[in-house]
Amino acid sequence: GAGVSQSPSNKVTEKGKDVELRCDPISGHTALYWYRQSLGQGLEFLIYFQGNSAPDKSGLPSDRFSAERTGGSVSTLTIQRTQQEDSAVYLCASSFTTSLLGNEQFFGPGTRLTVL
């Protein structure tokens, strides 16, 4: 019955390393979104999943970014060969469907990624 959870809450890594960020959506939610929030910036859409449909990857900034969603539940965002400009808070959200009309999008607390 808990909300969207994300792990780790904080991640410090060295430039060039790969990182994996995890999102556990609310049970039963079919839609899952990843966003990036940089200091002083709004939420930048990265990717979303809806059920078994092919994900919309239109927001991924480069081919170093990828995400998967296993079994229609847990999702992992992977950033390969991290760069300092990847430093940001990565937010995951889920909703019952992709229709936001009357279906609230619930956000997790985010993972703060720092690339040294």
Partner 1 sequence: QQQVKQSPQSLIVQKGGISIINCAYENTAFDYFPWYQQFPGKGPALLIAIRPDVSEKKEGRFTISFNKSAKQFSLHIMDSQPGDSATYFCAAVASGGSYIPTFGRGTSLIVHP
**Interface with partner 1 includes 43 (CB under 8 A)?**
yes
- Least distance in Å: CB of 60 to partner 1? 13
**Interface with partner 1 includes 67 (CB under 8 A)?**
no
The nearer residue to partner 1, 74 or 80, going by C-beta atoms, is 74
**Interface with partner 1 includes 45 (CB under 8 A)?**
yes
Strand order across the beta sheet in which 75-79 lies: 5-7, 19-24, 75-79, 65-69
What mask, x for binding partner 1 by CB under 8 A, covers residues 2 to 41?
--x--------------------------x-x------xx
**Interface with partner 1 includes 110 (CB under 8 A)?**
yes
Give the count of beta carbons closer than 10 Å to the beta carbon of residue 102. 7
Say how far apart CA 105 and CA 34 lie, in whole Å: 12
Say how far apart CA 51 and CA 73 lie, in whole Å: 9
Out of 42, 54, 70, 84, name the contact with partner 1 by CB under 8 A: 42
Out of 7, 56, 72, 76, name the contact with partner 1 by CB under 8 A: 56
**Interface with partner 1 includes 49 (CB under 8 A)?**
no
Secondary structure of residue 85 in the 3-state scheme: helix
Say how far apart CA 105 and CA 58 lie, in whole Å: 19
